[in-house]
Structure formats: structure tokens, C-alpha cells
Structure 1
Amino acid sequence: LSTTVSYGDLNNTNGTHSSPDSTEWTMTLTIIPPYVFTISLLGLLFNSFVLGVFVAHKDRLTVAEIYLSNLALADFVLLCSLPFWAMNILNEFHWPYGNALCKIVNSVIIINFYTSIYTLMMISIDRYLALVKTMKARWLRRTLYAKVNCILLWILGFLLSTPTMVHRKVKFFEEYGITACILDYNHGSSWKLAHQILMNLAGFVLPVLVIVFSSGNIIKALGQRTESIGFHDANDTKATVLVYAVTLLFLLCWGPFQVFTFLDILCDVEVLDETLWSHTLDIGGQVSVYLAFLNSTLNPLLYVFSGQYFRKKVSAIYRRNRYQRRGSDMTTYQRSLVSTYINRTEQIKPVVIFNPKEQM
């Protein structure tokens, strides 16, 4: 049984490249479960915090914030499924949760993958419309459209995860005495090849090309704006930096997995010698998959450290809760006095008094 098959990752083979008695197998049983539990716990806490801030803040969310909250939701859902695989590894790859959860857990991973990359693509397009096509496409940047787009992205992710739903199944391996959750391409390797090509093209190449196009035009437009009018909008720059940071993190985390998927494709079409590359693909596939999952845990940290408006929302929620706690300790009479004072001071307008002596 290939360890790549057993891990429940996105890319799988039907071969038997690694022995259960190998060093890699032992390291997997020792290192991966604690790692998965750690990133799952931290990621769920971080993404819950991000979603809570977006929900608790009373101001209407901007288009970019709607997409960022959608990304946080996708990460949260993915991290909910990872503990199943940690328990599966601790159980030495014997899948005890049944065929239905075998399909659901792995489909959730695929749905998250597609939803995340296409959400990043939509964020990049929104930045392009805001900074390059400011007036012409202003009507496209409506919050209603952003919400509809998020729903469509989830539907798209669900449709693109169909190969996983069909081919994921629980299968008994008599030689190892375990019942494992694997991708079983029982209709031939052409299904596996089609699945991998779909992931490379639809899940990486196409959205990355759109992101590169949008980013290039944004950088060009900001440069021209600075040169022509000598004005540099710091708010636009900070918002764009956050988008770039989130996108770069996604590429760094998911890029290696896409590279190993492409190498596996080359082996399937006999461009590369599978015998020579099998061990590299096993080890690289294992490392790249769990590096990819780390992306869902690190995303919220970017919102906190790079997102100026996100930090303002957190501060506003903190101040509001602090004032509410203080208000609950006041008597009714005290609250009435404070309210009257605030209302009166808001109505006072500054008046400039002309003093003739000061002009002499």
C-alpha cells in the first residue's frame, strides 16, 4: 500500500512504492499526527476569531472583506476534517469511520482547495476593478455580487471535487490486514491522469494566470497614478499588500503540491521513469500535502498583522464591549446623565471670536 494513498491527500497512485516497514512510514506515524492536531487546533481558533470579528462588527462588510471571510470559512471547514486523518494515521491507516465519511472528509479537502484559490482570484479581480477600472466597473463592485460570487465558488468547488467523491472508497488490503480509505481508480489510469490534469489546470494554472494579470495591471496603474498626479493613496497600498501577502502564502504552501502532481503526470505519460521517481514522489507528496494544509492556519495571522482595517474592527469591537461593561455597572440615573452630556456636546459647534486687540 503506497503511503501516498494512505494519507488521504489530494494526489494518489495505485502503486506500492513504499514499504510499511520503511523509515518514512515510522516517521509518518510519529510526526504527522501531532503536527496535524496542532495546526487543526490553532487554525480553528484563529479562523473562528476572524469570522467572529467579521460577524460582530456592525458596519457593513466591504467586497474585499466578504471574500476574506469566505476564505476564512473555507479554511475553517478544511481544518475540521483534518483530525480524522490524524486519527487514521494513529490507527496505522485503518479507516474506522465508514465509506461515507471517507468520501466526505476528502471531498471537503478538495472543495477547500478550489474555493480558496478561486476566492483569491476574485479578490485579485476586485482589486483590479477598484484600482485600474475605478469608474467604468464601479457597478460591478457591489456587496450583493460578492456574496453571490462566494456561493457560486462553493458550487464550483463541489463540482470540481466530483472525481474525489466518485473514486474515494474504503478498501480492504489483505496483504497488510487493514481497511484503508484510498483513491481507487478501478477503471484504469486514465481517470487518475484526468483528475491530476484537472487539478493542475483548473486548480492552479488558470487562477494564477488571472492573478498575475490583475497584479501586473494594478502595479502599473499605481505607478502611473503616482507619476501623473504625485499622489500616493496609503489605504489602497495597504489593502493591496494584504491581498498579495495572502496570495503569496497560498502559492508557497500549495505550489510544491502542484509541482509533485505535475511530476506524477509526467510519470504516468512516461515522460519520466516512474521507477526512478517513485520514492521522490512518495516523500515529496507527503511533505507537500501537509505543507499545503498549513496555509489554512497561517492565513488569519496575515489578517491581523497586515490588515489595517481588520485591526481597526477588532479595536472597535473591544471598545464597544468595554463601554457596555462599564455601562452595565452604572445606575439608570448615571446613564441618563452621560447620554444627555454626550448628546449636548455633539451638538456644540466651534465658534471663532474675532478679537480686534489681537490684530493690532
Structure 2
Amino acid sequence: MSGNQSNTGEDHCPTIVGSNKLIFPIGAGYVASVTGIIFNLFVLMVFCLHKKACTVTEIYLSNLTGTQLLLVCGLPFYTDYDKADNDWPFSESLCKLVQAVMSMSAFCNIYFLVLASLDCYVALVHPLFHELMSRPFNAKLGCLFVWSFGLVFAFPNFIYNKLIFNPQSNLTHCLLALTSLDQYVLYDVRVIIFNFIIPVIIILFCAVRITQTLRKRRMEGLNPQRTEQKTTTLILAVLLAFLICWVPAHVTRLLQVLRYTHILKCHIILVIIEELSVSLMFFSCVLNPILYVIIGKSFRNRTKEFFKQ
């Protein structure tokens, strides 16, 4: 989805075009667009328009929902782009804006999960410190910090995304038009490190420590409070859904870097895996609101109160 394609003419990967185009990613794109927008708008309404103020966890989850809403709002543009065999039918300004917004949303998405997992970890493992630090003002400040860094992270897309006409295929591509192959590699490596390796290490550390603490409490007969346990279960479920849906997309980006550096040769299987991993990534934007309803008892109660209100 990043549109990072080298103009050096080296090792171009085959694309799925015409009658061979995968039906699943295109269909999944339209389905994820409609259902994702409806589901995430509903969740935001419950969190933001409810008369009761949000807890710290709900602040993180509402911001997470905002990033997913932005992602699925940009998805129809790329679904049409993919359906038209990578012929961008919109303006260059829209090419820059859509890609920048989606890049920022992907960055913020994982770091709101990092904040939520850190809050859950501190609440269970260091409860005294949590009472001092876990305040709505601090949570909102952390969210503002993440949004600001996401905007900075997406800044290259505002500058370098361009419409490039290919006379051989008679197609206009929306690409991140960097000047050399090294710049493409550095861009993808930066995304892999900051969007994948660093946050996933933090998330896995928190998840392991949370699980160990809960297991230790059960062995000692010190069961956590029911509300605390429900919140922890919801956070762990959202983290697991993220890892399942987003890890394949980052693995395919890593494979792309290996292909750029000629360590790995291109194969149509890699293209198919990339198409499917993108579909799986956007499916998480639909899955999370469903998890809130199924697992989040507090969210269900908040929804009932919202409708009564």
C-alpha cells in the first residue's frame, strides 16, 4: 500500500492484472470500507457522545478507533486503484493526501495499542505507580503526542508522493517517487523499525508480564477485580487481533526490502501474499469494534446508556 516502487528498472515484480486479478482483496476492500466506517463511527459515537467521561483505557481505544476510521475511509481509493490495474483515477493532491493520512493512521494505530498495553501493564504490575500516572489528562496528552509524531512520520508522503505516467502500460501510478533504490530501502526499513519491531517488542513484553501477573494472582488466590479483569481481557484480545492481522503486512514489507537488495528474488507467490496481507490488515479495522461488543462488558453497558440517553 505504500506505493514504493523503484524507477531503476531493476527486478520489477509481476502484478496481478486483468482476469487474473485476485477477487478476494478487491471484494474485501469494498466490504471493509462500508462495514468499517459504520462500525467505527458507532464506536466513536458511544465513546465521545456519552454523557459519562471516558476512562483512560477508553481514551486510548477511542483514539485507536479514530485511526481505524481514517484507514477505512482511505481504503475505497486504493480499492478502485487496484481494480483499475494500478491506474490512479484521481488528482495528485488526493494521491498525496490519501497516502499521507493512511501512513499516519497506520503509525498511530499501533502506538495507541502500545499506550493501552502499557497502561494495562502498569495497572496490574505497578498499581501504586498507576494511581499517580493514570489520569485522563495524561492519557489525552499521550494521544496528542502520538498524533503529532504520526503527522511527522507521514510528512514524506506529502512531499514525495506523485503521479507518474508509464508510457509502456499507458497507466498513471500514485507512487512515492524517491530518487534511488537506497532511499526506498531506507524508507521501508524505517517503517519496519518504528511501525513494527519497536512497538511489537513493547506490546509482547506487556502482554507476557500481564499474563504472568494474572496467573500468579490466581495461584495465590488473589483474583483481580471483575472490572479490571474484563478490561485486561479486552486489551489482550485487541492486541492478539492486531498481531494476527498486521504482522503479515509487515513481513511482506520486509520481504520487499530483501527483494530490493537482491537477497530474495521476486515470485508471483510474494505478490499474492502481499495482496492477502493487505486485506487482512484492513479486516482488523472491522474486527476491533466486534471485539468491543463481544468482550467489553463496560462498552456494552455504555452502549445501553447511550441509547437511553
Normalising by structure 1, report the TM-score: 0.79
In structure 2, runs of 5+ residues without a counterpart are: none
Which amino acid is the alignment partner of residue 167 of structure 2?
Answer: E
Q: Indicate how the Cα distance of structure 1 residues 88 and 126 shifts in structure 2: closer, same or farther if over 3 A, else same.
A: same
- Separation of aligned partners in 1, 2:124 and 2:137: 20
CA RMSD of aligned residues (A): 1.9
- Separation of aligned partners in 2, 1:163 and 1:25: 32
Q: Pick from 67, 77, 93: which aligns with 2:70?
A: 77
Q: Indicate how the Cα distance of structure 1 residues 225 and 92 shifts in structure 2: closer, same or farther if over 3 A, else same.
A: closer
Q: Pick from 70, 85, 88: which aligns with 2:81?
A: 88
CA contact (8 A) 1:193 1:268 kept: yes
1:48 is aligned to: 41
- Note the C-alpha offset of 1:152: 1.1
1:118 is aligned to: 111
- Separation of aligned partners in 2, 1:84 and 1:108: 12
Percentage of pairs with the same residue? 30
Q: Pick from 245, 250, 253: which aligns with 1:258?
A: 250
Q: Pick from 97, 119, 124: which aligns with 1:104?
A: 97
- Note the C-alpha offset of 1:33: 3.7
Aligned length in residues: 305
1:178 is aligned to: 171
The question of 1:16 aligning with 2:8 is answered no
Q: Indicate how the Cα distance of structure 1 residues 271 and 91 shifts in structure 2: closer, same or farther if over 3 A, else same.
A: closer
Q: Pick from 135, 147, 159: which aligns with 1:142?
A: 135
Which amino acid is the alignment partner of residue 122 of structure 2?
Answer: L
- Separation of aligned partners in 1, 2:262 and 2:229: 47
1:284 is aligned to: 273
After alignment, is 36-45 or 277-286 more displaced? 277-286
Normalising by structure 2, report the TM-score: 0.92
CA contact (8 A) 1:10 1:289 kept: no
Q: Indicate how the Cα distance of structure 1 residues 264 and 95 shifts in structure 2: closer, same or farther if over 3 A, else same.
A: closer
1:234 is aligned to: 226
- Note the C-alpha offset of 1:25: 4.3
Which amino acid is the alignment partner of residue 121 of structure 1?
Answer: V
Q: Pick from 28, 35, 41: which aligns with 1:35?
A: 28
Deviations 1:214-272 (A, max 9, x none): 12222222233333454343322221111111111111111111111112222333333
The question of 1:314 aligning with 2:303 is answered yes
Deviations 1:256-313 (A, max 9, x none): 11111112222333333x2xx3423322222211221111111111111110100011
1:332 is aligned to: none
- Note the C-alpha offset of 1:69: 0.3
Q: Pick from 238, 253, 261: which aligns with 1:269?
A: 261
Which amino acid is the alignment partner of residue 249 of structure 2?
Answer: F
CA contact (8 A) 1:11 1:261 kept: no
- Separation of aligned partners in 2, 1:17 and 1:210: 34
- Note the C-alpha offset of 1:94: 2.5
3-state secondary structure, aligned to 1:60: coil
- For the pair shown, which has the larger CA radius of gyration, 1 or 2? 1
Which amino acid is the alignment partner of residue 166 of structure 1?
Answer: I
3-state secondary structure, aligned to 2:4: coil
- Note the C-alpha offset of 1:211: 1.1
In structure 1, runs of 5+ residues without a counterpart are: 1-8, 322-360
- Note the C-alpha offset of 1:317: 2.2
CA contact (8 A) 2:196 2:250 kept: yes
Q: Indicate how the Cα distance of structure 1 residues 267 and 18 shifts in structure 2: closer, same or farther if over 3 A, else same.
A: closer
CA contact (8 A) 1:76 1:296 kept: yes
Which amino acid is the alignment partner of residue 301 of structure 1?
Answer: I
- Separation of aligned partners in 1, 2:141 and 2:224: 32
3-state secondary structure, aligned to 1:13: coil
Q: Which has the higher contact order (CA 8 A, sep 6+)?
A: 2
CA contact (8 A) 1:29 1:90 kept: no
Q: Which runs of 4+ in 1 moved over 6 A?
A: none
